Structure 1
Amino acid sequence: MSSTPDVVVVGGGIGGLSAAYALSREGLTVRLLERAPEFGEVGAGLQIAPNCTRILHEYGLLEEVIDLGVVPDDMIMFDGLDGSELTRLDLRDLERRYGFPYLVIHRSDLHATFLRACRRAGVELVNNATATSYEQGEGEATVILEDGCRHTAPLVIAAEGIGSPARFQYVGDHPVSSGYVAYRGAIPIDDARENNIHEKAVVVHLGNNCHFVQYALRGGEMFNQVAVFESPKALAGEEDWGTPDELDAAFADTTGDVQNGLRFMWRDRWWRMFDREPIPDWIFGRVALLGDAAHAPLQYIAQGAIMAIEDGWVLAKHAAAHRLADGSVDWESALAAYNAVRTQHTARVLATSREWGVLWHHVGVKREQRNVILRARDTYDYSFVDWLYGPTTLAPEEEAPMFTPIPLAPPDSSA
C-alpha cells in the first residue's frame, strides 16, 4: 500500500462498496477499509425501488440481483386489528411507469453482489481496519486507524454507518432513538406456508403503535418477517428496552395472520431503531460523508440502502464531470455539487420516513381516519412516490427537471 489511491473509502457496507464500485467505474483507483476481519452483512430483507434498480441496471448488476431476489407483484397494506385491506400498489404497473422493477433481496446477497463487483473492478480491499479519526492536509485527507496506520488520498469517504467517527468528529451529534424496536425472522418458505401468506407480495399489517412486514426472498425459497413496535420501557427511560415480553404485549390485539408470523421471530436479538437529524453539509475539507453516516433514516419508506447507493452514483457522476486535463479530479467542485444535490433530497426522505411511521402507528380515532384515507386511494395513484421513484437527479431539487412518467392506462383487469 505504498502508492496513494485517488480515493479511500472507510466502511465496507453496502454504501461503501457501492461508492467504491461507482468511482472505480470512472477510472479512479480506490482503496476500501473495513473494520471486520471479513466482509459480510447482517440483517434480512431489503426492498429496492426503481430509483435504485435503474442504477443497478446501469452498473450491469440488475440481472444478478433479480436472480438472487424476488420481484413481487403487489405491495398490500392491511389493518392489523381487523384484517381488512387498506390499499395496495400494483408493482408490475409501477415497473412500467418508472421503467425498472421493484424487488426485494436479502441484505447479505446485495452486499455480496457489490463485493464481487468491487473485486472485478480492482478495488483494493483491506480488512481489520478500524477508523478512529481524520486529518486534513493540502489537497488531501488522512484516516487514522486504531492500530496507528494512516491512509491518505485526495478524497476520503466516510461510510462507516450510523455510528460514524467522522460524523462525530466533524458534527458532534448523536443518533436519535425513535423508541421503536424491530424483531426479524427469516425462515424457509415451506415453514411459513402452513399460515395464510402472500408469496408474491410485500405485505404490511398496521397495528396500534406496531406493524408487521412479510415478503419472500431468495427466489421464493425464504420468507422474511419483521415485527416493529414502540417500547414502553424506552419511553420510560429504562436501559433494557425492546425485550421479548414487550414484543408479545405490543401485538396482543393483532390478527391471527400476524400472530402466526410472530411465532417465527428470532427472540435472542433485536434491533433498536435510530435515525439521524439532517445536516446541511457533508463535506469537511477532503472528507465526505456518505450513506448512514450522512443520513441514517427510519425504515418506513425503505430508502436507507437505496440512498447510500444513490450517494455513490451521484458522487461518481460529478467526479467524472470535473476531471481535469491531467486526469485528476477537481474535488472541490465535484464535492460541492454532490453536497448540493444529496443533502436536499435525503433531508426530505428522513422527514418523510418519520411522518410515515407516525401514520402507520395511529391508534383510536386517528387510526380510523387513516384507514378511510388509505381506502380511498386509487391503486394507480403515484402522486406520492413520483418524487421518490423518479430518476435520481444530478442537480439540486429546485433545478432538477420534474419526472414525467410514461402515460399508461391501468392494466386490463379482465386480462
Structure 2
Amino acid sequence: MSAPHALIAGGGVGGLCAALCLARAGFRVSVYEQAKALEEIGAGLQLSPNASAILRSFGALDRLIPSSLVPRAVRIRRARDGATVATLPLEDAEKRWGAPYLLAHRADLQRALIETVAGEEAITVHTGAALAGFASGADGVAIAIKRGAIRTEATGDCLIGADGLRSLVRQRLAADRGVSPRFSGRTAWRALVEASRVPAEMRREETSLWLGKRAHLVHYPLRGGAVVNVVAIVEEDFRANSENFWSSPGDPAYLEARFARWRESARDLLAAASDWRKWPLFDADPLPSWTAGRVALLGDAAHPMLPFLAQGAAQAIEDAAALGAALGRDRNIERALAAYQAARLARASRVQLESRRQGKIYHLTGPAALARDLALHALGGARLLSRYDWLYDAHPLCDAAVLKSGSAE
C-alpha cells in the first residue's frame, strides 16, 4: 500500500516543519512555495523551549545551535532613563522547561529546516509554484498550481494551508468570515547592527525589552554576538504598495524623532542601524475552525498573532508537531484533521489573545505605565518567569504520542 500524500501550500517555517513531521508520520509530502527559491530571509527571532523541543525531535535543532545564542536573561527596562524594572533569569531554561531557549536569525532557522528537508526522501519541494485553487472531495484533494503563465494540477490525500497571513486556503475555505486579519496600528522596524558599533551595555547575552510611551524596543545579540538584532515597535499609520508590503524601507529620521526622549544608549543603538525595514503588524480574532474536510490551516494562516509574546514561529512549529501526530495515529484524514484542530485551537487562540493583551501593557502611558513598572518590580524576575510556564513547557510536547507518532496501521 502506497504512502498517503500530503500537499502543503507554503514553504516557510510552518510549512517546512509540517513537511518534516508528516514525513516522520509516514506520509509522502509535496510542498508548493510561490517564491522562486526557499530564501533565507527575515530578522531575529526568539525560539522558546516549546518550539526548540520540536525542532530537536526531527534533527533541525542541531543544525541551528551553532549559529544561535542562549540568552542569560530577559531584562525589562524603562525607556526614559534605562533603569532595570525586572530581570527574568533564563540560564536554567532547559532544566526548567525541557529544551533550550534560543536567539536565532530567521534565515539561520530557515537554512536548518531546508537542510533537514533535503535529507528526507519523502519530501519534494516545488518552488515558483503558487497555489491557485483547490477542491476537496471524499477521496482526496485536487489543487491548481500556477508557474508563471502555466497552470498545472496535483492531487493528494490532504491539503495543509501554511500560506501565511494572506492565506488563499483560508480565504477559499471562508473560514475567516468576519475575523480577517486587520492592521493593528503598529509597525515593527527591524535592523541588524554590527556589534562593534553598539554600546557595551547593548551587547549583553540577554534579551532587552525597553518600555516607552506608545512604543517599545527589543534587542539581543545574534550569531555568536557578531551582530545585534534590533526591533522598534511603534504606533503609527502604515501605507505600502503590494510589491514591498511586508518589508518597506524605513526612514531613520522618523525613529530618531519618536525616540528622542529615550535614554541616550537606546538612541545610540537606533542611530547605529544603517538599513531599517518595517513591517505592518496584523492581528485577528481567533478563528472558530481551521479545517474543512481534507483541508486544514497551519501557522499564520490559522492564527495570525502580534509578536508581543514572540510566539509566531513557535506556534506554527507546535501546529506542525500536532498535525504529524494526528495524521500519524489515524489514516482517516478528516477525522485526523479534526483531532489536530481539537489539539491546537484553544491553545493557539489563547496565545493570540495574550499577545494582544501584552501589547497593550507594553505601550501604556502616564500613571498606568508607572503602575505597570511598580508591579513588575514588585513581582520580581522569578515570579514573572513563572507566568510563562504554561507557554514554554516543552514536556507535554516531548510526549511520544506527539513527537514520535510513526505510521498508522
Alignment size in residue pairs: 382
2:284 & 2:336 partners in 1: Cα distance? 24
Residue number among 307, 311, 327 corresponding to 2:315 in the alignment? 307
Partner of 1:157: 160
Change (3 A) 1:375 1:339: same
Distance (whole Å) between structure 2 residues aligned to residue 112 and residue 129 of structure 1: 20
Q: Match for 1:390: what amino acid?
A: D
The alignment partner of 1:263 has SS state of helix
Query: Are the equivalent residues in 2 in contact too, given 1:51–1:390 (CA < 8 A)?
Result: yes
Structure 2: which amino acid aligns with 1:35? Q
User: 1:200 offset after TM fit, Å?
Assistant: 0.7
Residue pairs, 1:132-281, within 5 angstroms: 132-146=132-146, 147-170=150-173, 171-173=175-177, 174-192=180-198, 194-231=199-236, 244-265=252-273, 269-281=277-289
AA in 2 matched with 1:182: A
Give the root-mean-square deviation of aligned CA atoms.
Answer: 2.2
Residues 110-147 of structure 1 deviation map (CA, whole Å, 9 limit, x = unaligned): 01111111110121010110112221122211222233
Which residue type is aligned with residue 318 of structure 2? E
Q: What is the CA distance between 1:266 and its match in structure 2? A: 5.1
Q: Say whether the 8 Å CA contact 1:341–1:393 is kept in structure 2.
A: no
> Which range moves more in the overlay, 225-234 or 275-284?
225-234
Whole-angstrom distance in 2 between the partners of 1:61 and 1:165: 28
Contact preservation (8 Å) 1:43, 1:108: yes
Structure-1 separation of matches of 2:238 and 2:136: 43
- Alignment partner, residue 21 of structure 2: 22
Note the C-alpha offset of 1:159: 0.4
Any gaps of 5 or more consecutive residues in structure 2? 240-244, 398-409
Q: Does 1:379 align with 2:381?
A: yes
Counterpart amino acid of residue 230 in structure 1: E
Identity %: 34
Give 2:42's aligned amino acid.
G
Aligned to 1:358, what secondary structure does the other structure show?
helix
C-alpha displacement of 1:218: 1.1
* Paired amino acid for 1:330: N
Shift of the 163–337 alpha-carbon distance from structure 1 to 2, 3 Å rule, reads: same
Q: Could you tell me which residue of structure 2 aligns to residue 126 of structure 1?
A: 126
Determine helix, strand or coil for the equivalent of 1:178.
Answer: strand
Distance across 2 between alignment mates of 1:347 and 1:84: 34
Q: Does the Cα contact within 8 Å between 2:193 and 2:273 map onto a contact in 1?
A: no
In 1, distance between residues paired with 2:54 and 2:7?
Answer: 22
1:288 alignment counterpart: 296
Task: Decide whether the 8 Å contact of 1:273 with 1:298 is kept in 2.
Answer: yes
Q: Determine the C-alpha separation between the residues in 2 that align with 1:88 and 1:8.
A: 44
Q: Which amino acid aligns with 1:135?
A: A
What amino acid maps onto 1:100 in structure 2? A
Q: 1:319: Cα distance to partner?
A: 1.3
Contact 1:10-1:157 at 8 Å conserved across structures: yes
Query: Match for 2:263: what amino acid?
Result: T
CA gap 1:344/1:20 in 2 versus in 1, 3 angstroms: same
Distance 2:279 2:395 in 1: 30
SS of residue in 1 equivalent to 2:220: strand
After superposition, where does 1:309-328 map in structure 2 within 5 Å? 309-322=317-330
Letter in 2 for 1:89: L
Equivalent position SS for 1:54: helix
Who is 1:397 aligned against?
none
Relative to structure 1, the CA distance from residue 168 to residue 392 in structure 2 (aligned partners, 3 Å threshold; closer, same or farther) is: farther
Q: What is the alpha-carbon distance in structure 2 between the residues aligned to residue 188 and residue 243 of structure 1?
A: 19
Matched residues in 2 for 1:247 and 1:133: separation? Answer: 41
Pairwise CA distance, 1:265? 3.6
Aligned AA (2:392): Y
Indicate the structure with greater helix content.
Answer: 2
TM-score when scaled to structure 1?
0.87
Q: Is the 8 A contact 1:183 1:266 kept in 2?
A: no
Deviations 1:3-27 (A, max 9, x none): 9961011101000001001111122
Inter-CA distance 241–280: structure 2 relative to 1 (3 Å threshold): farther
Q: How far 1:176 sits from its partner (Å)?
A: 1.3
Distance in 2 separating the partners of 1:299 and 1:210: 13
After TM superposition, give the deviation of residue 195 of structure 1 in Å: 4.8
- 293-302 or 170-179, which moves further after superposition? 170-179
Match of residue 331, structure 1, among 325, 330, 333: 333
State how far apart, in whole Å, the 2-side matches of 1:250 and 1:189 are: 23
**What SS does the aligned partner of 1:314 have?**
helix
Q: Tell me whether 13-22 or 264-273 shows the greater mean CA deviation.
A: 264-273
Query: Which fold has the larger relative contact order, with Cα–Cα distance below 8 Å and residues 6 or more apart in sequence?
Result: 2
| Alpha-carbon distance between aligned partners in 1 of 2:70 and 2:23, rounded to the nearest angstrom | 29
Deviation at 1:378, TM superposition (A): 2.7
Give the AA of the match of 2:82: G
Does 2:28 align with 1:38? no
